[in-house]
Structure 1
Amino acid sequence: MAEALSVTVPRQMRITIRRHAAKLGIPTDHLPDDAPSPQEGLLRHLRAAGTTIAAAWFTLRGHAPSLPLEAQPYDLLVDMGDVVQRVQVKTCMTKREVTIGRRLPGTSKGALVPYGIDEVDAFFLLDGELSIFLIPISEVAGKLRISLAKHRRFRVGSAISLIR
């Protein structure tokens, strides 16, 4: 039924439905298998591909991205002609909320801290639908998480064609 409605049911939700149906004694052999959809399989690698997608996006618009040689709070330096922007790349698997905070160097499970306006100029965000957002730090300064719905005006495109 989900396919008829063009709705993607995440793999974890399909597994949960099967588990609850089994507890209730409801047969599930008519349900689609629990293998990840091709899109879900590709999205597992979204975090690793984020900076590369961002660099390609900027390059295709005539801007010159560079990777910092040393560890920095930003992922890319982007020469936009009249200004160089420090861009932090973030990805999320949903389309609702994205974490834009960071952990301090040397901590893997420490508390999140927000990026400062003296560290980054903008966030390049990719959500689970591969929508691309370019949000200036001035819009989200001091925040650890943001709702993408509240920042729709900063949506600048989509990378969906990369997986279809």
Structure 2
Amino acid sequence: MPVSKSALPDPSEVDAEIRRLALASPASELHGGLCGWLAGGGAPVREWPARVLVDDTLPTPAEDSPLDRLRTASAAQLEDRSFDFALLLPAADAPLVERSGALFDWCRGFLGGFGLAAGANPKLSEESSEALGDLAKLAGAQAQDDGDEEDEAALAEIEEFVRVATLLLHGDCVLAARHRQSLN
């Protein structure tokens, strides 16, 4: 059965590709950077790691490689009106400390990629400005060593917030800009 163009590659495939290319970023942070780049108006180009990591010496991912599939799936999910956008994070059965740490890494990556693509003063709604500030707070958070069911529920809520905030920022920076261009 063919893999959907909007399905993210398995995190282990992305990790293996990161090691092969000797990138200094964990998979979740790299995906956050890519999504921030795309949400801020960056082009979904194959050489995205060089742009997101601001290193022109980085190789361009091979066509249909895990990083190339990550790019095409992420771009497709952000453009999809069904809000079926997913974060590349460890599996739900991974320890809470690993999952929360990866989510905070994702947010750090997102902020960097978004800033590179959107610039210093992007046109944002009040909601998006607030969401961006909240993402910045999450990017500075530290993972806890252990947790209970309440912490699990809180992490699920935070993950959903990050997902919606990303779509909101993409809407302001990409979809609204595209709409403004079509009106002119």
TM-score, length-scaled by structure 1: 0.25
TM-score, length-scaled by structure 2: 0.23
Kindly indicate which of the two structures has a greater share of residues assigned to strand. Answer: 1
Kindly indicate which of the two structures has a greater share of residues assigned to helix. Answer: 2
Structure having greater relative contact order (Cα 8 Å, sep ≥ 6) = 2
Structure showing greater radius of gyration is 1
